[in-house]
Structure 1
Amino acid sequence: MGIDISCFLRQNFSLPVYKGEIQAQNLGMAMEVWNEEGDGSNGSKYRKAYFSKFPGIWAHGDCRINPKTGGIVMLGWSVPSPVSTVDSFKEVEDSLCVPQYNKYGEERVILFLEMASGHAFQPDLVKRIHDTIHVGLSVRHVLSLILETKGIPYTLNGKKVEVAVKQIVAGKAVEQRGAFSNPEALHLYWDIPELQGF
């Protein structure tokens, strides 16, 4: 017997529906919610990328929260991103969105904007972006901070490096800088005054 692994979570007609949650995991799917204590690595780039968070367990980066309701909230790739909304602004060349956590586990979301040539970072732009995200996505997606940056880091194969920026924002060291096409951009995210004291 096989199962389509493209959908681990789905609706369940016998359970109540809660806004923002997927009702249940598929029957027969061995899924668990792990915390940060499962960190580990075997040294290879592949294992570092996919098996370093929980030794022996493949983890792509999406998270799920299983609240008391039994519903599932998908974070990461599965949720519409404020970045996709910002792409429509001609003033913005590029953008990157990362979470920041304080010592109490509270989260705030930060959007970094790299301005397009001839455009300046302005309060009016910040307001328009907030308004567009509020209307186009949801109140849940509204950002805590929108800040300007002079560069967005990318991997050698052209993917934005959210994980490394998230580590820097958390005050952690970033490993494998050789995997970045522009590692100098990482320095732009250290010691940002607006991120201190959260």
Structure 2
Amino acid sequence: GNSVRNQVGEFVVTQPMPSMPLYFWNDPGNERYIETYFSDYPGIWRQGDYFMMDDDDGCFVLGRSDATLNRYGIRIGTAEIYRSVEALPEVADSLIVNLELPDSQFYMPLFVKLQDGISLTDEIVQKINAKLRADYSPRHVPDHIYQVEEIPYTLTGKKMEVPLRRILLGHSVEKAANKDAMSNPQSLEWYVNFRDTQTAYRYE
């Protein structure tokens, strides 16, 4: 990439700085550390935030890029999706990812945990899609909606969007997620099985 001004871009660091962690705990060979910060731009630290610098050297951190879905050039905040979907009485929780696939294709599945005793039906799918379209735009409508028993969370209560995206794109759980930092590590088993058995997208 190129350095730009007055445009939103990825926050990257090309030289060492004091606040950089040196390594992760229990990460032999620094595999997870490198995967987290250096896999997108080899040798360059990717912070995971959108950033802008203006002509007066004013700096603006504009939110997490890994919590933003970039779908065909349209930036969609995952919080927008959750605010809309989880306002429906049938939905208890949700998680969405956008998978960048070969040949410049995208696949955006939405995983929903429904209230006890409710199963995902065509009517509920249509209701979710209609609400996203009405609240935001057709670009916010997922490619498919899947019912799950659990949404993976960290111990601090954050939805694990980035680790799940990596798992769905073929990374091992060990490289994509730190189970010791999860409140429900067993939840990942469903998503691994989904990845290995689904036919909706090709990630290799």
The TM-score bracket by the shorter chain reads 0.5 to 0.7
Equivalent pair of 2:152/2:187 in contact (CA under 8 Å): yes
Greater length-normalized contact order (CA 8 Å, ≥ 6 residues apart): 2
Partner of 2:37: 51
Match of 2:76 among 62, 79, 97: 79
TM value normalised by structure 2: 0.64
Partner of 2:58: none
Q: How does 1:1-198 map to 2 (within 5 A)?
A: 25-26=5-6, 42-44=22-24, 48=33, 51-53=37-39, 54=41, 55=43, 57-62=45-50, 76-77=67-68, 79-80=76-77, 81-174=80-173, 175=175, 176-192=178-194, 193-198=197-202
Instruction: Tell me the number of residue pairs that the alignment of Structure 1 and Structure 2 aligns.
Output: 157
> Which of the two has greater strand per residue?
2
In 2, distance between residues paired with 1:152 and 1:144?
Answer: 18
Equivalent pair of 1:100/1:107 in contact (CA under 8 Å): yes
Residues 170 and 63 from structure 1, CA distance in 2 versus in 1: closer, same or farther, beyond 3 angstroms? farther
Residues 50 and 167 from structure 1, CA distance in 2 versus in 1: closer, same or farther, beyond 3 angstroms? closer
CA offsets 1:117-146 (integer angstroms, 9 cap, x no match): 122211100001111111111111111011
Calculate the aligned-residue CA RMSD, in Å. 3.3
- Identity across matched positions, percent: 25
In 2, distance between residues paired with 1:186 and 1:96?
Answer: 13
5+ residue gaps, structure 2? 13-20, 26-31, 53-63, 69-74
In 1, distance between residues paired with 2:122 and 2:47?
Answer: 39
Residues 118 and 172 from structure 1, CA distance in 2 versus in 1: closer, same or farther, beyond 3 angstroms? same
5+ residue gaps, structure 1? 1-23, 35-40, 65-73
> Which of the two has greater helix per residue?
2
What amino acid is aligned across from residue 189 of structure 2 in structure 1?
H
How far has the Cα of 1:44 moved from its partner? Answer: 2.2
Equivalent pair of 2:113/2:147 in contact (CA under 8 Å): yes
Residues 195 and 33 from structure 1, CA distance in 2 versus in 1: closer, same or farther, beyond 3 angstroms? farther
Equivalent pair of 1:96/1:111 in contact (CA under 8 Å): yes
TM value normalised by structure 1: 0.66
